[in-house]
Structure 1
Amino acid sequence: MDPDALQNEVDEWVREGIITDEQAEEILARYEGADQRWPRIVLALSLVGAVLVFAGIALFLATNWQDLSRPARAVVLVAAPTLAYVGGVAGYKRNAPKIGHAMCILGAVLVGPSVFLFDSLYALDLAMEWLLFAWVVVMLPTGHALGSRVGTAFGLVLAAVLVATLEESAALATALGGLGIVLFAFGHQRDDAVAWTYRIGGVTMALVGLLGMTLLEGQFQRFTLDPTAILVATSLGAVAGVVWLSVTERRAGVEWAAVAAIALACSFGIAVLAPDTVPDLAAFIGVHLTTLAGLFATGYLGYRTESRRFIDLAAVGGMLQTLSFVQATVIDALSGSIALIVAGLVLLGAGIALERGRRAVLSSL
C-alpha cells in the first residue's frame, strides 16, 4: 500500500476516534516495508544534509566573520534563514516534501542565531526575552504548518526557555509545571502528530517542575509568597486547562491535569510555609509525596490511553526522583564508600522495581 495513502487513512481514523494514536503507530509499523521505510530514509538523509550545510556555513562564517563588513554580515544573517525557507518551498514544489521539510526546519532553527547576532551587530540592546520570543514565534508556527514533531518539540523547548528567562524567582519549577498543564490541554484540541507532541511535551514539563521541587532540600527559605506575572499566568492557564478538559469530557486527560495541578499547588504551598511553619523534614517528605502523585497520575494516564510514552515518562521520572531522594538522604547522611554502596543498591532496587512495574502495565494494555 502507498505509504502516504496509508498515513492519511490512519490519521483520519484517529481524528474520527476509531483508533488511538498508539494504535495508529502500531498499524503503520505493522505494514512498514521497504516502500514505507524509504521516505524515512530520505528524510533522515535530508536532515543530515541540512545539518552538514549548516555546519559548513557556520564554520565558514566563524573563520571569516571578522573580515566581513557590517552590511555584509547583516545580509548573511538575513539571507541564511531566508534561503533555507526558499529551498524548503522549492522542495515541496518539486515533489520532494522530505527535503522541503528539512530545509524549512533548518530555516526556523537559523532564525534564532540570526536574531541574536543581528542584535549584537547593531547594538540594539534588546532584552533576551524579546529575542527568544521572536524565535518561538517563528519556530512553533513552522512546526505546526509542516505537521512536524521535531519542529514543534523544538519550539516548545524554546517556549520553556523563555518562561525560565522571564521567571527569575524561586517559583520557576511551579511556573514551568503550570505551562506543561496548559500545553497538555492545548494538545487535546485535535488528534495529529503536532497535538501528540504538545501532550508529551506538556506532561514532560509538568514532571520536570515537580521533580525540580524535590531538589530544594535545605533551601525552602528561598520561597516567599510573592507571585510574579509569569507564575500567575501559568497558574491561571493550568486551571483553565483543567476546566476545558472537564467541559470537553476528556476524562483521562482531566484526571492527569487535575492531579498535576494539585500536586504543583501543594508543593509550592509547602515550600512557601517551610521552614517557619512547616519543618524542613516534613516539607521535604511532602514535596516528594506530591511528586509521586504526579508520577502515578502519569503512569495511570498511560494505562488509560494505552500510551507507552506516558508510561515510560513515569518510569524515567521515578528514577530521577529516586536519585534526588538518595542524594538528599543516603549520600548526605553517610560518607565515603559506604554512601556509594548504599546509594547504588537503592538505585538498583528502584530500577528493577520500576522496570517490573512498567512491564506489568504494558502487558496489561
Structure 2
Amino acid sequence: MTVSTPRATRSVPPRQLAWLRSEVAEWASQGIITDDQADRIATRYSADTHARFSVGRVLLYLGGGFVGIGMIWLVAANLDQLSPTARFVAVTSIWLAFLLGGELMASRKVSAPLVGAVRLLAALGIGAVLFQAAQSLQVPAFEPRLLGLWAAAALLHGYLTRAYVPFLVGVASGVSWWFTQPMWDEPNGLTVVMLFGAGAVLAAALAVLHDGRIDTFAWTWRAVGGGMALLALFVAAIPDIGSDGIEWSFWLVAALTLAGAAAVGAAATRPGTRVLEPLGAIVVLAVATVLGLWSTGSDTSDVDTSDWLHAAVSVAAYVLLAVALVALGTVREHPMLTWMAMVGLVVFTTFQSFAVFAPIVTGAWLFVVLGTVFLGTGFLFDRARRELAQALDTDSPSDEGAHR
C-alpha cells in the first residue's frame, strides 16, 4: 500500500485562486474529474495575501521611505551639533540596528510588510552612512561615485538575503549612477543614447541570468531593460541629438564593456531562445546609435526629405520595438512590458508628429494626421498581440492533446 505524502501548498494571487476554484468546480460538474480530485487540486493552492497592496503595507513602506530619506537629509544638513566622528557613529549604529533587526524579524517569520519596511530603512540607511563618511572625508555629497557605492551596498544586501526591497533600492540608485557618472565630465547627447542602449543590454542579460533562479529580480531587470530600450530609441529620434558625435570616456567604455560581458555570459550559460533578449537589446543599441549619428539639422522651419526619412525610420524602429516588447511581455507573462510599450508608442508618436510634421501639417489637419497614425499603429499593435496570444495558446500542451 502506497502512502501519499502531503505536498506543500503553493501561494497564488487571490484572483487566480478564485478562477481556479470556479474552473475546478465546473470540471467536476461536467464529470471531467471526480469531486475527490477537485478537492485535491483546490487544496494544493492557497491565497497569497501578500500579493495585494493593503493600506497597512503602503503606510509601512511610505513611513520607511520617509524615515530613510530623512536620515540622509539630516546628514546633508551636517548635524553641526555633533562632531564628525559622533555623527558617523550615530548614523552607522542606526543603520546596523535596521539591518540586523530586519533580518532577525525575517528569520522569525514576522509580517512580511513589516520586514520589508525595516529592510527599506536599512537600504536607505547605508546611503546615509556613505554620505556621512564622504562628508567627514571632505568629499562633495553630489559626486556620482557615492551613488555607485550606495547601489553596490544595497544590491549586496538584496542578493545576500534574497530581499526584494533592498534590491529595488540598489537598482534605482544604480540606474541613477549609470547615467550621472559618465555624464559628470563629458555631457553629450549621443552619450545618453548609448548609455540607454547599453543599459538595455545589461538589464536584458541580467534578466535572462536570473530566470528560474530569482524570478522577482528577473522581473525587475526585464522591466528596466524594456524601459531603457524604449528611451534609447526615443532620445535617438530627437533631431540633431548626436551633432557633437561620440565623446568617448573611460566610463562610457566601461558601461559598454560591462553590457557586452553580461550578454556573453547570458548566451554562454543560458542558451536557447532566451538569448534573443540581450541580442535584441544589442540591435536596439546599434540602431539608436546610428539614428543619433544621423544628423538632419535642428531647424524645424525647414523640413526636407532627410528629415522625413529620419522620422519615418525612427517611427518604424520604434513600432518594431514596441511589438517586440509586447511579444516578450506575453511570452514571459510580464504585463508591465506591454503597458510600457503601448504608452511609449503613444508618447513617441505624439512627439514625432509635433516635432517633425507640425511645421508642414498645421491646425486641425495635424490632429487628423495624428489620429490616423494612432488608428493605424493601434490596429497593427492589437493584431500582433492577438495573433501572438493565439499562437501561444495553439502551441500549448493542453491544446495539442485536445486536437489528437
1:89 aligns with 2:112: no
Further displaced range: 128-137 or 195-204: 195-204
Name structure 2 gaps, 5 residues minimum. 1-5, 22-41, 298-304, 393-404
Q: Return the TM-score normalized by structure 1.
A: 0.75
Q: Could you say which residue in structure 2 is the equivalent of 1:274?
A: 295
Is the contact between residue 179 and residue 202 of structure 1 (CA under 8 Å) also seen in structure 2? yes
Q: Could you say which residue in structure 2 is the equivalent of 1:19?
A: none
Q: 2: distance between equivalents of 1:53 and 1:227?
A: 40
Is the contact between residue 240 and residue 292 of structure 2 (CA under 8 Å) also seen in structure 1? no
Is the contact between residue 298 and residue 314 of structure 1 (CA under 8 Å) also seen in structure 2? yes
Which of 200, 203, 206 matches 2:223?
200
Q: Could you say which residue in structure 2 is the equivalent of 1:13?
A: none
Structure 1 vs Structure 2 CA RMSD: 4.1
Q: 1: distance between equivalents of 2:352 and 2:181?
A: 29
Output aligned runs, 1:140-155, within 5 Å.
140-155=155-170
Q: 1: distance between equivalents of 2:50 and 2:332?
A: 29
Name structure 1 gaps, 5 residues minimum. 11-22
How many positions carry a matched residue from both structures? 344
Shift of 1:150: 4.1
Output aligned runs, 1:1-365, within 5 Å.
5-7=9-11, 30=20, 36-39=47-50, 45=56, 48-49=59-60, 51-52=62-63, 55=66, 68-71=81-84, 72-96=86-110, 98=112, 99-120=114-135, 123-125=138-140, 128-168=143-183, 169-170=188-189, 171-190=191-210, 191=212, 192-214=215-237, 216-222=238-244, 224-248=245-269, 250-275=271-296, 279-333=306-360, 338=364, 341-342=367-368, 345=371, 349=375, 353=379, 356-357=382-383, 360=386, 363-364=389-390, 365=392
Shift of 1:163: 1.4
DSSP 3-state at the match of 2:209: coil
Q: Deviations over 1:151-191 (max 9, x none)?
A: 33332222221111122232222222212212211222241
Distance 1:255 1:42, change over 3 A: closer
The one-letter amino acid of 2:193's match is: A
Larger CA Rg, structure 1 vs 2: 2
Shift of 1:200: 2.4
Is the contact between residue 178 and residue 234 of structure 1 (CA under 8 Å) also seen in structure 2? yes
Distance 1:252 1:322, change over 3 A: farther
Q: 2: distance between equivalents of 1:26 and 1:58?
A: 36
The one-letter amino acid of 1:131's match is: L
The one-letter amino acid of 1:212's match is: V
Shift of 1:4: 8.2
Q: Return the TM-score normalized by structure 2.
A: 0.69
Is the contact between residue 252 and residue 301 of structure 1 (CA under 8 Å) also seen in structure 2? no
Q: 1: distance between equivalents of 2:318 and 2:193?
A: 12
Distance 1:102 1:334, change over 3 A: same
Between the aligned residues of both structures, percent identity stands at 18
Is the contact between residue 155 and residue 167 of structure 2 (CA under 8 Å) also seen in structure 1? yes
Shift of 1:249: 5.8
Shift of 1:193: 1.7
Q: Deviations over 1:61-95 (max 9, x none)?
A: 86x97573234543443233222213202312433
Further displaced range: 114-123 or 187-196: 114-123
Distance 1:348 1:272, change over 3 A: closer
Q: 2: distance between equivalents of 1:197 and 1:352?
A: 27
